[in-house]
Structure 1
Amino acid sequence: MKRTYRLLIQVILWLLIWGIIWIGSRGDAAFLERNALTYILQILLLIGLIYYAVPKLLFEKKYRVFFLITIPVLFISAYFASQVGPPPPMDRPIDLPDGGPPRGLLARYPIHLLILTISSTLAVILETFLYAQEKEKGIAFAKAELIESELKMLKMQINPHFLFNALNNIYALSVTNSEKTQESISTLSEMLRYVIYDCEQPKVPLQKEINYIENYISLFKLKSSKGYDIAFAKAVQNEASRVAPMLFIPYIENAFKHSGIEKGADSFVHISLTQDEEHIIFKVENSKPKSLVIADAQGGIGLPNVQKRLEILYPHKHKLIVENKDTFTVHLSLNL
């Protein structure tokens, strides 16, 4: 709401109030003479408050200057307003014994002071309320921009990590089994399409996230002809339900990396994802090899970022439990 518009509304409001009071006094012409200047001073005070005193002094935290200016101006304005016009009939015959000002002046002064104080106070309250609203909107907008920038930065960190791993897998496959290289490139192409296009959206259908996980597992399995103990169990009621992209895959990737599954033996990665209309429950469990697994140089990017994204995208709507015992288990529940 612009300042001129706010001023106009208050000018009209006080004009209506004075009009109602005038009608209540049976349209007395002397009433207009006594109070016309008060109304004019109200308008001048409103202009000074709205255009100068409140934005330049009060909002700039110059409180002392603000009160040192506005309070004397109120008293002086009330004094001059009380000097104009004939006194009310009941006050005319009575003068003070010492020859001081008429009693009518003393009676009208506090009334005019009260009216000017009320109109000025209401104007200050309104300006402060609207200023607080605008400031709150600005803070909310800045916070949203910051969150959006942070999410984009996190995605930029996550997505190249998957690309590097996938290319390493294809490179290893091309050395050992060139017949499956074409299939792996097709799978990688579908994964990149999801990362580049779909992940630009704040949320994606759950089925696309599942497809990405399945492609990731397929691409991993193509690295070798030997079987891996990899299980992905799904129980999804609504495949179209929407979820933030790339939330689950960092935990899956971490499980593959640190399970020692490429060495075979008793290594495993077990994944489950269940969804109803209100919740998604994701779990990934992987074995812990007896010997230390040395991760590649690009490791460790995804997990801290996905935890940050959970805090931003699902505040108070997610529960993350990580257990590091005989096996490593991640349990994530999302409230849809």
Structure 2
Amino acid sequence: MKHHINRTLKKIPLHLLFWLVVWFFFFVFFSVGSENKNFIFWFSTILSVITIAASYVVVYQLIPDFLLTKKYKSFVLYVFYALVFIACAVLMTVVFGFVFFYNLEFQKMPGLTKNSGVIIVCSLLIIALAGGFKILKHNYQSIEEKKALENRFLQTQLELKEQELRFLKMQIHPHFLFNTLNTLYGFALKKSDQAPEMILKLSSLLDYILYQVEKPFVFLKDEINHIEDYIMLEKSRFQDSVEIAIIKDNFDDALQIPPMLLLPFVENAFKHGSQIDGRLKVNISLQVDDKFICFNVENSAKQKVHSKKGIGLQNIKKRFDMLYGEDGFLKISEDENLFTIDLKIPIKNEA
């Protein structure tokens, strides 16, 4: 309420200045051909009052209540009433000058002040100017409000996506850690000499999951190094029953991707992959060109084995879609004995 009053008070000087200019225009315009400055003063003042009253009715009543709310019939009707009022008021003003200043001698009145048509047109021009300004101001405010609403909506959507992304990360990381701890547990039971090295690799992975993963981006080389550590852990678990082939291009060490983006796909291959003829086969390929990081994972699988336990993979896919949308590419396909994941990560070249 206080803010509204302050805004209204700030407008008063501008309104006074505008109507002073209008009065001066009337005074100069209708004084043409007349030396009776006293009459022209009162004539301009009365005409200004009529114009001010009609303008405020149109600007603050008819336009907001009828035109902007699309009540066009009511708007036209009340505009007609306003025109009748203006015409009557103008005629009364002419009669006022005719009676009190020129003693009923009509011919002595200045030509412009006894021409009702000219007087009405001058008044209507000022009213139209005020109404047009009101409509332009309303349109500008509507555009600004729409932009502000869109910005708030986008901000809310962004916050929701960030929350969902954090939730998906929370789902992926414990799942990955659980599988790795299971592998280490098996070696501890066997008192294997490989256990210390596995603990070292697991420690590195834990550091990556617990600390590095909260960063928006990590170096691609770090993600690949942790993939290789994970593969070493899985080799230790599967021993001779796994066959792994890794092909990777040389790439710029400065390339960055979101953390834990590629590793869950590799984990999925070991978790849901199936041994065929006594061996689990996993093929991993990483290629980098000017526009994309291309990552491919293939693993031997029995048909439909992935679709039965696809909740983790669905979450990984959902996270990828949230991060890249239509700019990225992710295809998951399943043949009779082969499960394949192909993804392309767009490279963002920063200027």
Corresponding residue number in structure 2 for 1:330: 341
Corresponding residue number in structure 1 for 2:209: 195
Distance 1:42 1:173 in 2: 90
Q: CA deviation at 1:306?
A: 1.7
Aligned to 1:63, what secondary structure does the other structure show? coil
Query: Which residue among 273, 288, 293 is the counterpart of 1:275?
Result: 288
Matches within 5 A, 1:132-211: 132-211=146-225
- C-alpha spacing 1:39/1:183, structure 2 compared with 1 (3 Å): farther
Query: Which residue among 80, 84, 92 is the counterpart of 2:113?
Result: 92
Matches within 5 A, 1:260-299: 260-261=274-275, 265-288=278-301
Distance 1:236 1:11 in 2: 71
Cα deviation, 1:231-288, whole Å, max 9, x if unaligned, reads 2221142122121222222221221123335x87343101011123321100011113
Matches within 5 A, 1:225-240: 225-226=239-240, 228-240=242-254
Matches within 5 A, 1:22-101: 33=45, 34-35=47-48, 63=69, 72=78, 90-94=111-115
One-letter amino acid of the structure 1 residue matched with residue 171 of structure 2:
Q
Q: CA deviation at 1:150?
A: 0.9
Distance 1:245 1:211 in 2: 12
Matches within 5 A, 1:121-140: 121-140=135-154
Gap regions ≥5 residues in structure 1: 95-101
Q: CA deviation at 1:32?
A: 7.4
Q: CA deviation at 1:129?
A: 0.9
Contact kept, 8 Å, 2:26 with 2:44, in 1: the verdict is no
Aligned to 1:265, what secondary structure does the other structure show? coil
Aligned to 1:330, what secondary structure does the other structure show? strand
- C-alpha spacing 1:302/1:130, structure 2 compared with 1 (3 Å): same
Gap regions ≥5 residues in structure 2: 32-39, 95-108
- C-alpha spacing 1:249/1:8, structure 2 compared with 1 (3 Å): farther
Range 325-334 or range 144-153, more displaced: 325-334
Contact kept, 8 Å, 2:23 with 2:44, in 1: the verdict is no
More helix by share: 2
Q: CA deviation at 1:93?
A: 3.2
One-letter amino acid of the structure 1 residue matched with residue 289 of structure 2:
D
Query: Which residue among 312, 319, 324 is the counterpart of 1:309?
Result: 319
Q: CA deviation at 1:164?
A: 0.8
Q: CA deviation at 1:165?
A: 0.4
**Count of aligned residue pairs for this structure pair:** 315
- C-alpha spacing 1:276/1:78, structure 2 compared with 1 (3 Å): farther
Corresponding residue number in structure 1 for 2:236: 222
Root mean square deviation, CA, Å: 4.4
Distance 1:155 1:82 in 2: 76
Contact kept, 8 Å, 1:38 with 1:81, in 2: the verdict is no
**TM-score of the aligned structures, taking structure 2 as reference length:** 0.71
